[in-house]
Amino acid sequence: MAQVQRPLIIQSQIMRLCCPRVQNRKLHTETVTDNDISRLASLPLHPLTLADLVKHGRPPLTTRQLLTSANFTLSILPARLAHRIQSLRNLPFIVVSNPHVSKIHSNYIHSLSTLLPWAEHEIKTLDEEVRFTEVMADLVQTHANTISTLARGFLEARKYIQPKHVTRFLDEHLRARIGTRLIAEQHLSLHFSSQPHSDIMHESDDAPGFIGVIDTKLKPAIIVEHCANTVGEICELKYGVRPTIVVNGEPGYTFAHVPVHLEYIITELLKNAFRATVESGMQREPIEVTIAPLPELTPEHFGGNNPDNPSKERLENADQGNADVASHTFTDSHGDTSPATASNILPLKHSTPGVTIRIRDRGGGISPENLGHIWDYSFTTFNDDQASSTLSGSNSSHTGMDALNAMSGPGGDGAHSLAGLGYGLPLGRAYAEYFGGGIAVQSLWGWGTDVYLSLRGVGRVDGEQISQ
């Protein structure tokens, strides 16, 4: 099985840091006041870029770089947490009162109150940096199950809130969470990989392309193979068969991105393709995954040398946001959305190279009446009766709750379930759009589905081509 390079955060290290010191300190932490929340929530959100995440340098970081990273992290997080608290409080009271939704609210209050005492001073010593890293580990750990908890809460409260309001809230909340986790995890990862005797130092010898959670030599084809194996196993367990996949295009292509994000998106897209293929009895037709890099954009591409350059339109689309492929919403709150043009994604001279990955299945496509709903959180056509009438399989009834019980991973759809929560497409798109990419679905009803996943990588940062 292909090995996916892991980001340099090791769960056990986070756990070890989380306790017991942070736990003890909680007793001394003042609870955050409503004034704190409204003051912080009125601050503008810092729109996070991939360049922000790599600007502190490659690990191992010097003490000064580590302190800069800690202070940068600290300057950003309190306002982000306060925005989330406000947005939770704006939900209908009966929804916020649901125990699962209210658990998420109290997690945010806990994290903000742990962080606030830090926000008053600059972090100046390594000892402070170590203690701040413990706070970051606690933050990441506290919010690990947010998606399943919220999904459970909204499932229970669905009588009291319209699906479109749930989708709007979750879209905003989960996008914001992607950024907040990235900032915290990036500092954790930089911290761990800068420790002289860290286990991770050995790991990073094998994976020299990592800068924190970003792999500057990420090979989408390897992620695809790895995810296809995992999804194939789930598929075989459930249906007794697994479709084959063919990877073509440029499987050797590498770029800089966040591997756990790509892994989440590809897993969800492959689950959908595998499920459709098997349920329509088309498993003899391979699922085709095409890796199509976007050429690096240079001035000639914009018509200077060869106005008839066939790739001109595609490149312009890539640069400005192709409405079909990506809506290019960059930041994480509807109120604070800025269009992600090349200039505000990264302050770079050259545009960032990227890739489009097309996943093509012969699984029958999506019916016109369902097509309008596929991006709604919790919209699913999955039910076991239908699945087992097509194939001999488990006949246990499958509800959203069953899928919730099986949830894990960075994004959180059922790890052992091919479908059922209805979060795969919308959350996958949130991950893709975070750095200016997107997902577009083309269904040929009665035939199959093409899904185009477009992603941008990091180009040049401070003159350094980090994709090398």
Residue whose CB is less far from ligand ADP, 321 or 412: 412
Which region, judged by CB under 6 A, interacts with ligand ADP, from 33-41, 104-112, 190-198, 373-381?
373-381
Among 52, 134, 361, 433, binds ligand ADP (CB under 6 A): 361
Q: Is 447 in the site for ligand ADP (CB under 6 A)?
A: no
Token representation of residue 45: 């959100």
Q: How far apart are CA 304 and CA 175, in angstroms?
A: 38
Among 147, 245, 419, 440, binds ligand ADP (CB under 6 A): 419
Which region, judged by CB under 5 A, interacts with K ion, from 7-15, 236-244, 280-288, 372-380?
372-380
Among 29, 229, 370, 442, binds ligand ADP (CB under 6 A): 370
Residue whose CB is less far from Mg ion, 419 or 455: 419
Which region, judged by CB under 5 A, interacts with K ion, from 4-12, 131-139, 153-161, 425-433?
425-433
Token representation of residue 4: 């996916």
- For residue 420, the partner it binds in K ion, ligand ADP, Mg ion, none, with Cβ less than 5 to 8 A by kind, is ligand ADP
Among 321, 353, 363, 410, binds ligand ADP (CB under 6 A): 363
- Which three-class secondary structure state does DSSP give residue 43? coil
Among 60, 201, 241, 379, binds K ion (CB under 5 A): 379
Q: How far is the CB of 413 from ligand ADP (least distance, A)?
A: 6
Give me the residues that bind Mg ion (CB under 5 A), please: 271-272, 419, 424
C-alpha closest to that of 95 among 166, 16, 167: 166
Pairing of strands 287-294, 245-249: parallel
Residue type, 88: L
The gap from C-alpha 277 to its chain's centroid, in whole angstroms, comes to 26
C-alpha closest to that of 165 among 79, 261, 101: 101
Q: How far apart are CA 468 and CA 386, in angstroms?
A: 48
Number of neighbouring beta carbons within 10 Å of residue 34? 9
Within 59-125, where are the H helices?
Answer: 63-89, 93-96, 99-119
The DSSP code for 44 is: P
Residues 375 to 394: which contact ligand ADP by CB under 6 A? 379-382
Structural element, H or E, at residue 10: none
- 326 phi/psi in degrees, rounded to 5: -150, 135
Binding mask 268-287 for ligand ADP (x = CB under 6 A): x---xx--x-----------
**Taking CB positions, which residue lies at the least distance from Mg ion?**
424
Among 98, 114, 283, 449, binds ligand ADP (CB under 6 A): 449
Q: What separation, in Å, do the N-terminal and C-terminal C-alpha atoms of the chain show?
A: 26
Q: How far apart are CA 189 and CA 103, in angstroms?
A: 27
**Alpha-carbon distances of 464 from 58, 146, 460, rounded to whole Å:** 11, 36, 5
Q: How far is the CB of 347 from ligand ADP (least distance, A)?
A: 34
- Which three-class secondary structure state does DSSP give residue 440? strand
- For residue 352, the partner it binds in K ion, Mg ion, ligand ADP, none, with Cβ less than 5 to 8 A by kind, is none
Among 374, 391, 401, 406, binds ligand ADP (CB under 6 A): 374
Q: How far is the CB of 453 from ligand ADP (least distance, A)?
A: 12
| Contacts of residue 129, Cβ cutoff 8 Å, sequence gap at least 6 | 66, 67, 70, 123, 191
Residue type, 79: A
Q: Which residue has the tokens 């009271």?
A: 93
Which region, judged by CB under 6 A, interacts with ligand ADP, from 59-67, 189-197, 304-312, 358-366?
358-366
| Contacts of residue 20, Cβ cutoff 8 Å, sequence gap at least 6 | none
Residue type, 182: L
Q: How far is the CB of 21 from ligand ADP (least distance, A)?
A: 40
Binding mask 404-423 for K ion (x = CB under 5 A): ------------------x-
Q: How far is the CB of 379 from K ion (least distance, A)?
A: 4
Q: How far is the CB of 142 from ligand ADP (least distance, A)?
A: 26
Token representation of residue 346: 């990264």
Residue whose CB is less far from Mg ion, 80 or 271: 271
Binding residues for ligand ADP (CB under 6 A): 268, 272-273, 276, 361, 363, 366, 370, 374, 379-382, 419-422, 424-425, 449
Binding residues for K ion (CB under 5 A): 379, 422, 425
